[in-house]
């Protein structure tokens, strides 16, 4: 295993929760006929995965704090460290039998993300990074892409669904960006979008109205892979603002200019 004791704990927890989710994911296909049944089942799968992660992470580091999508917040005895966890990022994909979802675990120390793991259990791709130690996918070192022309670059985002107030802003972003680039993808998992920027699969990603657990692990992955990550408001803070823009270094300024309008 590459990395510190904490990173090993994070990877072990992600694999364990991943096995549980993969088993449930195979069941989802049998439930497609009854929409309500599948929805209830997936929220149970999500909660079960979070319980595994909590047991593994807090079992190994009982003094750390905890914040997660399902289970709210726990103040740790150690006020400087906390786990930031999304047990299932890409729930809608999972519900529809689409194999594009992930477990995201970040470790925060004194307000800064110091380690992150994003595990795509369906494809067995483990993305991880630790401050100062680079970014990795399974056994391979990863880096952001080297493309420096917008017209050759592809970008990812999330499109607001079902009456969310940020739809007009996102449609304006797309109107400015799409004529200038090689394509925009919307794959339904912010954590994997950021992991893919780190791995050089996308040149950049942006989204508004995210939660800390959607982005925390992705931020350190992108930075350790040589990319830039900022809040969309240049004066802002990614986790508290709930918005992010990230890209490789050559593209970042141009891309940010387009998104910031």
**pTM for this model (two decimals):** 0.95
Grade residue 37 by pLDDT with cuts at 50, 70 and 90: low
Report helix, strand or coil for 244. Answer: strand
Which residue matches tokens 């994003």? 118
- The CATH number corresponding to 5-142 among 3.40.190.10, 3.10.105.10, 3.30.540.10, 3.90.550.10 equals 3.30.540.10
pLDDT, greater one: 167 or 162: 167
Mean pLDDT of 64-68: 97
pLDDT category of residue 2 using cuts at 50, 70 and 90: low
Looking at domain 150-260, which of 3.40.190.80, 3.40.50.150, 3.40.50.10240, 3.30.1310.10 is its CATH number? Answer: 3.40.190.80
Residue 192: pLDDT band with limits 50, 70, 90: very high
**Are the C-beta atoms of 187 and 193 separated by less than 8 Å?**
yes
pLDDT one-digit tens code per residue, 205-247: 999 999 999 999 999 999 999 999 999 999 999 999 999 999 9
Distance from chain centroid for Cα 139: 20
Looking at residue 115, its pLDDT comes to: 98
Nearest to 102 by CA among 9, 217, 7: 217
- Distance (Å, whole) CA 87 – CA 68: 8
- Compute, in degrees rounded to 10, the torsion defined by CA atoms 92, 94, 97, 98: 80
Q: What is the mean pLDDT of the chain?
A: 93
Instruction: List the chain domain ranges.
Output: 5-142, 150-260
102-107 average pLDDT score: 98
Instruction: Give the span between the Cα atoms of 260 and 246, in whole angstroms.
Output: 12
């Amino acid at each position: 295993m590459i990395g510190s004791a904490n990173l090993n704990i994070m990877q072990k927890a992600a694999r364990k929760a991943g096995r549980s989710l993969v088993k449930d994911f195979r069941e989802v296909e049998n439930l497609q006929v009854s929409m309500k049944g599948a929805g209830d089942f997936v929220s149970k799968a999500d909660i079960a995965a979070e319980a595994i992660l909590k047991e593994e992470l807090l079992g190994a580091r009982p003094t750390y704090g905890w914040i997660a999508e399902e289970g709210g917040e726990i103040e740790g005895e150690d006020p400087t460290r906390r786990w930031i966890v999304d047990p299932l990022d890409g729930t809608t994909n999972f519900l529809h039998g689409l194999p594009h979802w992930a477990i995201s675990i970040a470790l925060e120390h004194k307000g800064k993300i110091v380690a992150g793991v994003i595990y795509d259990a369906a494809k067995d791709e483990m993305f991880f990074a630790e401050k100062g130690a680079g970014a990795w996918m399974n056994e391979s070192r990863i880096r952001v892409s080297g493309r420096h022309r917008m017209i050759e670059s592809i970008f990812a985002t999330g499109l607001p669904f079902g009456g969310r107030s940020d739809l007009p802003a996102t449609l304006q972003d797309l109107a400015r960006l799409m004529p200038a680039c090689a394509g925009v993808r919307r794959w339904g998992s912010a954590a994997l979008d950021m992991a893919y920027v780190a791995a050089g699969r996308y040149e950049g990603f942006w989204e508004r109205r995210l939660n800390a657990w959607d982005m925390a692990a992705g931020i350190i992955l992108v930075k350790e892979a040589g990319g830039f990550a900022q809040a969309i408001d240049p004066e802002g803070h990614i986790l508290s603002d709930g918005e992010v823009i990230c890209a490789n270094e050559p593209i970042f300024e141009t891309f940010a200019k387009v998104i910031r309008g």
